[in-house]
Structure 1
Amino acid sequence: MSEARNGKDRILEIGGISVPDLAKACGTPLFVYDEKELDQQMSDYKTYFRSDQFETEVIYASKAFTCKALLQMLDQNGLSLDVVSGGELYMAKQAGFPMERIYFHGNNKTDEEIKLALDLGCKTIVLDSLMECERVVTLADSKGCSTEVMIRINPGITAHTHKYIITGNLDSKFGVMFHDEETILKMLDLVKNSKFTTFTGFHAHIGSQIFDLRAYDAVIERLIKYIKKLNRDHKIEIECLDFGGGFGVRYTEEDQPNEVQEVCSRIIKKCEEELLKYDLHLKKIMIEPGRSIVAEAGNTIYQVGFMKKTPNKEYLFVDGGMTDNIRVALYDARYDCDLAEKMDREKEYRYTVAGKCCESGDILIEDAMLPKAETGDLLIVYGTGAYGYSMANNYNRISRPAVVFVKDGKARIVIKRESYSDQLRLEANEEVII
C-alpha cells in the first residue's frame, strides 16, 4: 500500500489505485487484495521451502480464502491445494486446478464427497479416523478408483492460541492420537489390504496464528521419533510428512510474525536434523500455509454511516460487520484500521467500530484511535484477507461484498457483489414425494 496527496490530506492507495476510487467504482463494503503481495507470498514459500535431502511441497489451505482467480494464481506459482469439503473440491475443478496436486482433508467427509474425490482423481485423501478409513477403502474398492491416503495424527501438542483454533491438543476433534497405535495399525492394515488405496504418510496440524516456532520443533521431533518406532517395531515405511500450517500473521502492531524465509528455513533445518538423528530418509516434507499467504494481502473498505455516543463509548457504524468478518465475535480477533482519506491527520478520537447487524456482538474494533470521523468517510480494516470472505454470511439478509484484485493501477472484480435477488435463488415451493 502507498499514499497519495489530495489537497491537504494524504489518501491511501492499494495496488496503485486510491481507496476512494475503488469504493466509487465497486461500492462498499469491499474486499481488496493486492495481487503483487499475493504473488510475493506464494513465490517466497516456493523459494524458501526447499531441501537437497528430500522433496518439498507447499500446499495452500483453501479454507482461508478461495475463488477461481486465486486458484489460478496458485497453480501458476506451482503450489498444491488443501480442500476440506466437496464445495472446495468442486471449486478447484471449475478453476482448472490440477487434481494431482489436491489433498482432501476434513473430519466427517460424506459418501458423496468421498465419491466426488475418487471420481475426479483427487491425489490424496487425508484420513481423520478409523471409521473414515473404513469408508474410504470401501468406496474406493466398490468404485475401482485408486487414491493415495495419509493419516492425520494428533500429536498432543498445544500451541498458544485461541481455544477454537487449537487443533493438536489431546481432546481436539481432529486426527488420531499419536499414541493410539492400535487404531493407527488397523488403519494401515485396511489401506494395505485394498488394491485401490496407497498409504504415503502422516499429516499433523497444531493450530493457527502461531508465532513461537518452537511449537513446530516439538511436532517435528515427536512425529519423526514416532515413525522411527513404527519402522523399528512394525517395518512400516513412511514416505511423506505434512506439518500443516498455522503460521502467524500481523493483524495489529502488537503481532510480530516470522518472515516466510525464517519459517521455512526453521522447519527444513529441523526436519534434516531429526532425520539424520534417527537415520531415516523421507521422500517428501509438506507444509500448508493459508492465512499467511492471503491475510495481509487483503483489506476491507467500509463507508462510515451514523455515529452515536453512550456514557462510555463513541460508536462509529459502518456498512458491514459480522456478516463479512465474524472472526471478532468468534475468536475475539483484533484488527487495525484507518480513515483512508485522512491518513496524516492526528488520531485523537477513540471509537468503537460496529457493524449494522442486529447483534450487540457485532463489533469490528474496540478502542480504534482515528481522526475525527464523519458520515461518508471510508474506513479501511487491514489484514482481512483470510477468513473474511470465506466466513461471510447472510445474517439479517445482508448481501456478501464484492472481491477485487488490484495490480499496477488496474482492478478486476473476481467475485461479484451479491444482490438481494441472488439471495432468493434457492427459494422454492416444491412438493416432496415421500
Structure 2
Amino acid sequence: MRLQGTMQINNQGHLEIGGCDVVGLADTFGTPLMIIDEDLLRENCRRYYKAFTQDDGDGVLYASKAFLSTAVARIIHKEGIGLDVVSGGELTIALAAGFPPEKIFFHGNNKSANELRFALSCGVGRIVIDNHYELELLEQISAAEGYRPSVLLRLAPGVDAHSHAYICTGQIDSKFGFNIFGGGALNAVKRALESPHLDLKGLHCHIGSQIFDLGVFRCAALMMMDFLQEVRDHTGWTAPELDLGGGLGVYYTSGDTPPIIEEYAKTIKDAVLQKCREHNFPRPRLFVEPGRSIISPPGTTVYTLGSSKEIPGVRKYVAVDGGMTDNPRPALYQAEYEGIIANKAAAKPVEGVAITGRCCESGDMLIWDLAVPRIEPGDLLAISCTGAYNYSMSSNYNALARPAVVLVKDGKVDIIVKRETWGDLSRLHCIPEHLF
C-alpha cells in the first residue's frame, strides 16, 4: 500500500496516521473505524485555494456528498473553501457546523418544494437549477414568498468523461442538466433571464467523477465558453460566473495516475482564457467543486480480520467485520483499493488473499487480491483512500451499525462521528397498537 499524508510505519511495525498508532486507535474505538488525516485534508484544501482563489479570486466549493460531518465542514470553512450540498439533510449538517449559508451552493436534480423553501430561507449563495420543472417550481415559490435567489443553470455539455458509466454525468444521455445540443439549455437561459423572480448569475456543468484525463476537463471548459458566447449572441447577456464542477481523480491502486491539483487548475483556466480571447468575452469568475480529491486520500478504514476459507487452487477468502455497508464502491463500480495489515505493517507478504465483507451477498468483496504476511483472526486491515463515498454511501444492510469516524493530528485523536449502536437501529421503528 502506498503511504500518503502523515502515514508511516512506526518502531513497533505498526501503521501510524497523524502520529497515532492505528492499533491503539482500533483498541480504543473499535472497528470498523474510519480515520481522517487532518493534516492531509487541510493540505488538499490549501492547494485548491492557492490554485484557484488566492490569486484569481475564483471559488472552490467542497462537494459534501463525498463525505460530510460537522467537523469536516468546520475545517473546510477555516481553509477558505465553500460548500456544495444536494439535499436538505446536507444543508442541515452544514448549518449545524456554523457554515456561512452565503458560501453554500444548493445542487440536486429533484429538489423538493420544502428543500427549496429551506434553501431560500437560509439565504444560500446559489441554487443550481437542474431542469425545467425545477425552474418553474423555484420561480413560483420565490414569487409567492418574496425571494429573488441567485441561480445557476446546470447544463449537460455532451462530454464523455471516460470514467465508469455510473459516475459520468455530462454526456447527452444523462439525467442531469439542460442539454446544450437540441436547444434545451438556450431556452432555459432565456426563460431564467425573463423571470423577475430569479437572478441568473451563470452556468454550471459537471461531467463525471474519478477522471484522470485533463483533456476531458479542457474540452468541457471550451464547450461551455462557446455556449456562453452563443448565449450572448442570442440574448445580449454576458454570464459573470462559470461553474465547471469537480471530478478530478485520485490514486487508489498502482495503476492510477491522477493529475495533480495544480495541473488541473492550469488546464481549465488556460482553456477559459483561450475562449475569452477568441470571443472577446470578459473572463467569468470560475468555480470548481472538488470532493473526492480533497477527502478521499485523508481517509483510511480499519477492519478486524475474522473467518477465512481456502479453496485449493482457486483462492483464500478472509473476512472482515465490515464490507459493503461501509464501502459499497467495489460492489457498485468494481472499485479497487490497496490495503495493509496495520499491526504487521513491516512484515513481508507471503501469500495473496481475497478480502470479503460480512454481508450476505457474494458481491460483498473489498479487495480481490491482496498480498499479506502471515495473518490470523484479530489482525487489523487498513484500506487506504476511503475518505470519499464510503461513509457517505453507507447503509444498515443486515442491520449492521455504521462505523465511528475519528480525526487524527499530531498524535491526538478526536471522535467526529460516533459509532452507531444496535439500539440505534430500532430507534425509529414503531409497533402499531393492534400488534400488542
Global fold match (TM > 0.5): yes
1:233 alignment partner, SS class: helix
Q: Residue 200 of structure 1 corresponds to which residue in structure 2?
A: 201
Partner of residue 223, structure 1: 224
CA distance in structure 1 between the partners assigned to 2:235 and 2:80 by the alignment: 36
Residue 4 of structure 1: aligned partner:
10
1:34 is aligned to 2:37 = yes
Q: What residue is the counterpart of 1:109 in the other structure?
A: 111
CA contact (8 A) 2:40 2:298 kept: yes
Match of 1:25 in 2: 28
Q: Secondary structure at the match of 1:55?
A: coil
Q: Deviations over 1:146-200 (max 9, x none)?
A: 311110010000011100000011111100111233x334433443344332001
Q: In structure 1, what is the Cα distance between the partners aligned to 2:57 and 2:341?
A: 46
Give the aligned partner of residue 255 of structure 2.
Answer: 254
Does 2:308 align with 1:307? yes
Identity of matched residues, %: 41
Q: Is the contact between residue 316 and residue 354 of structure 1 (CA under 8 Å) also seen in structure 2?
A: yes
Alignment of 1:339-350 (within 5 A): 339-350=341-352
Aligned counterpart in structure 1 of residue 386 of structure 2, from 384, 387, 392: 384
- Flag the 1:137–1:430 CA change in 2: closer, same or farther, 3 A: farther
| Distance in 2 separating the partners of 1:51 and 1:221 | 23
Q: Secondary structure at the match of 1:396?
A: helix
Q: Tell me, yes or no, if the aligned pair for 1:399 and 1:423 is still in contact at 8 Å.
A: yes
Q: 1:51 deviation in Å?
A: 8.0
The aligned counterpart of 1:426 is: 428
What amino acid is aligned across from residue 15 of structure 2 in structure 1? L
Matched-pair contact (CA < 8 Å) for 1:167–1:206: yes
Residue type of the partner of 1:69? A
Retained in 1: the 8 A contact 2:272–2:283?
no
CA contact (8 A) 1:352 1:366 kept: yes
Residue aligning to 2:124 = 122
1:72-129 C-alpha deviation (Å, 9 max, x unpaired)? 0111111111101111111111111101011111111111111111111112111111
Secondary structure of the 1:341 match is: helix
Cα RMSD, aligned residues only: 1.5
CA contact (8 A) 1:298 1:382 kept: yes
The one of 381, 399, 402 equivalent to 2:401 is 399
Quick check: 252-261 or 393-402, which moved more? 252-261
Match of 1:47 in 2: 50
For structure 1, which segment, 160-169 or 274-283, has the greater mean C-alpha deviation from structure 2 after superposition?
274-283
Correspondence for 2:144: 142
Shift of 1:428: 1.5
Equivalent residue letter for 2:29? C
The answer on whether the counterparts of 2:178 and 2:188 sit within 8 Å (CA) in structure 1 is no
Tell me which amino acid in the other structure corresponds to 2:107.
H
Distance 1:282 1:118 in 2: 29
Match of 2:414 among 398, 412, 415: 412
Structure 1, 68-77 or 231-240: larger mean CA deviation = 231-240
Q: SS where residue 42 of structure 1 aligns?
A: helix
Q: Residues of 2 paired with 1:406 and 1:55: CA distance?
A: 31
- 1:338 and 2:344 matched: no
Mapped partners of 1:116, 1:248: distance in 2: 32
Q: CA-to-partner distance for each residue in 1:372-404, whole Å, 9 max, x for gaps?
A: 211110000010000010011000000000000
Aligned mates of 1:344, 1:177 — CA distance in 2: 53
Decide whether aligned partners of structure 1 residues 188 and 221 sit closer, same or farther in structure 2, where only a CA change above 3 A counts: closer
Alignment of 1:58-137 (within 5 A): 58-137=60-139
The answer to whether the 8 A contact 2:355-2:370 is kept is yes
| Superposition deviation, residue 348 in structure 1 | 2.2
SS at match of 1:299: strand
Q: Which residue of the partner structure matches residue 285 of structure 1?
A: 286
Taking structure 1 as the reference length, what is the TM-score of the superposition?
0.96
Query: Which runs of 5 or more residues in structure 2 are unaligned?
Result: 1-6
